[in-house]
Structure 1
Amino acid sequence: MTGGVLIDWGGVLTTGLSDAVAQWIAADRIDGDHYRRVMRELVEHAYEGAARNAVHALERGEIDGATFERELAARLLTLDGVPPAAEGLLERMFAGFERVEPMYDMLRALREQGVRTCLLSNSWSNTYPRDGWDEVFDAVVISGEVGMRKPEPAIFLHALDQVGLPGERCVFIDDMEANVTAARGLGINGIHHRDPDTTIAELESLLSLTLRRA
C-alpha cells in the first residue's frame, strides 16, 4: 500500500518530551513532583473533552504562548517555593528537543518512493525548526495555525485534504496513543511511536516498502 504518511513532530521527529522536560526541570530548578501533578491534570482534561481547558486554547491558537506561560507559571513552583519566570517558559521547556535523523531519512525515502508526507503537530506556541522541511514534507498542518487540534477529527480530515488521499491509504504516526486511536477511528492506519527502529519497521510492513538504506 502506497499513499500518505501523517506524522507528529515533538517526540517523533525529535527526542522525547520527557527528556527535554527533565533538562528544563533541572536548569530552572522546578519542583518536579509538583510539575507532574499540574501537567497530569491539564493534559488529562485536554484529552477527556473538557469544555474549556488552557491546553485546548493554546493548541488551537485561541490564546498566545505568553498568556499560557503566565497561567502555567502561576501554578508551578521552583525548589525555592516560588513560581518560575513566566516569560520564555515554553521555549526553555522545549529547548532540549533534538532532531532524530533516522526519522528524517525515513521521510526522504518515503517521498523518493512516491509517498506523500504531512506534518501533523499540536503546537504549544513553540518555534519549529523549518529548515529543509520542503525536502521531507508535501504539506504542514500545525494546530495553532489551523485552529484545530489532535485528537479532534477535523484536523485529521484537514491533513488528508492536504495530501489529497483518503484515510485508508494513509498512516498516522504519533507518540500519544490517544491521537493514534482517534486517527484509527477515522479509518487511518495508526502507529504508536516508541522508538525509530520499531516505527520504521512497522511502516515498512504497512506500506510494503524498504525505507532503510543498506
Structure 2
Amino acid sequence: MEKFEKLTGIAAPLPMVNVDTDMIIPKQFLKTIKRSGLGVNLFDEMRYDRQGNEIPDFVLNQPAYRDAEILVAGDNFGCGSSREHAPWAIKDFGIRCVIAPSFADIFFNNCFKNGILPIALPQEQVDLLMKDAEKGANARMTVDLENQEITTSDGQKIPFDVDPFRKHCLMNGLDDIGLTLEKNAAIDTFESRLNQTRPWM
C-alpha cells in the first residue's frame, strides 16, 4: 500500500449530504475483484448521462478538478451498503483524502485499509474548506498526516484527529497483509519451534 505522509493537491468540493456507496460506485460495477479500473466509474450516475457522455456541471468533469486528490464532502459520506469497491473507486480516480463532517463507520474503516485518509471535522471547518476548494485548481490544500493539520490555499491551518494506530499504518503503507508481514521474524521463529516440538503437525 502506498504511504501517506503529506499530500498537497487540488481539492474538489462536493457539498452533498448522505452520499451513499451506490452513488460512489453503482452496483453494476461490483463484478470485479480488482482494485484498479474503477476510477472511471466513480460517481458514474452523476458524471455521465444515459448515452455515456460526461455531464459538464458535475465537479469531477470540470477542468479545474479532473486531477483532484482531495474531496471535501457533506455529512454522512459513504453511507449505505458496505461495498469495499467504494474506496477502491475513489483511490483509483486519484483521491487520497476525503474530508467531511461525518462518515459511515464501515466506509471510514475501509478507507484506512485502502490508503485513503478520511478526516472528520466540525461543520464550520468543513464549510471553510469547501469554500477554499471552490476556488479551483489554483487553490491547493496540504494535508499533513504527521503533524495532523490541513493548510488551506491561503495558509490557514486546521488541526484534525486521527487514531494513532491508523496513522501508523497509513504513514508506513501498511494494510492488513503488511501488518502481518511486520511480524514475519516472530512467525518464522514460532514455526521453527513448532516443527521441533511437534514434528507431526
Q: TM-score, normalised by structure 2?
A: 0.30
Which is helix-richer, 1 or 2?
Answer: 1
Which is strand-richer, 1 or 2?
Answer: 2
Higher alpha-carbon Rg:
2
Q: TM-score, normalised by structure 1?
A: 0.29
